[in-house]
Structure formats: C-alpha cells, structure tokens
Amino acid sequence: MLETITDFLADWYLVTKSLHVVSVISWMAGIFYLPRLFVYHVEQVQAGSATDTMFQTMERRLLRGIMNPAMIATWVFGLALVFTPGVVDWSFVWPWFKAGAVLGMTWFHHWLGLRRKEFLSGTNSRAGRTYRLMNEVPTILMLVIVFSVIMRW
C-alpha cells in the first residue's frame, strides 16, 4: 500500500509541485494585501460607516475566499511533496528552516484572522503602524523559505 502511494506521488511530482507553487502565490498575495487593508481601515474609515462595512466585507472575502483555501492547498501539496520519495532529505538544515518559516507564516495567517474579528466586533486597538510593521513578517519568512529551498544548505 505504501509503495502504491509513493509511486503515485512520484508520478505526479511535477503536477503537485506546480499546484504547490500556484497555491503559495495565491496565499502570499492575500498575506501581503490583508494587512494593507487593515492599515487603510484603521486610518481612513470611521467605525459603523458604510465604508466600514465595505472594508469588513472585503477583508472577510479575502481571508475566507482566497487566503484560507490557498493556505490549505499550500499545506496539502507541500506535504505531498514532503512525502514524495527523494524530494526532502531531513538530514540537511534547509527543510527545517523552511518548515519553521511555513509554521511562522501559518501563525501570521491566523493572527490576521484574529485581527479581522476585532474589526468585525469594533474592538481593534491597533494603529496603522502596527499593521505596516507586521506586514514585514511574511516578507522575512518568504525570504527564509525561498532561500532555503533554492540554496538547500
């Protein structure tokens, strides 16, 4: 049974890798955009206004309609690659760095989800500066992931 699964993963390696890359791009687009929406939401929108409702709708649709499915797909295809024979050698450092950065990216995704709920309930207490600074977190994590995979230290 295990041999059948690994054969399947090996046969579908390029498709899986392609779907993983597309999923990551979609996820990262949302990860970069949602904090920017939060900046504008905090700095330009009055709570309870029609614009507030519009921002909440945009933020919800981005998170639930694009980011959540993209994150799940990234994890599914990424794990499929991990279990594909010959793709990952855990005796090297790079997969550990990548795994840590992916966990960090997942934490950031959930942090954004919690912030969205604060906007929804009208309890956001963070300034635009906080969201601008936090928007650097995925950039750093992305650099760790890309350099880990390409350089394979």
Give 75-93 pLDDT, tens digit per residue.
999 999 999 999 999 999 9
What sign has the CA pseudo-torsion 36, 39, 43, 46? positive
Could you read off the pLDDT of 53-65 as tens digits, one per residue? Answer: 999 999 999 999 9
**What is the distance between the alpha carbons of residues 72 and 11, in angstroms, rounded to a whole number?**
22
Joined tokens for residue 44: 């330009």
From the CB of residue 17, how many other CB atoms can be counted at a distance below 10 Å? Answer: 16
From the CB of residue 8, how many other CB atoms can be counted at a distance below 10 Å? Answer: 13
pTM attached to this predicted model: 0.93
SS3 117: helix
**What is the distance between the alpha carbons of residues 117 and 4, in angstroms, rounded to a whole number?**
44
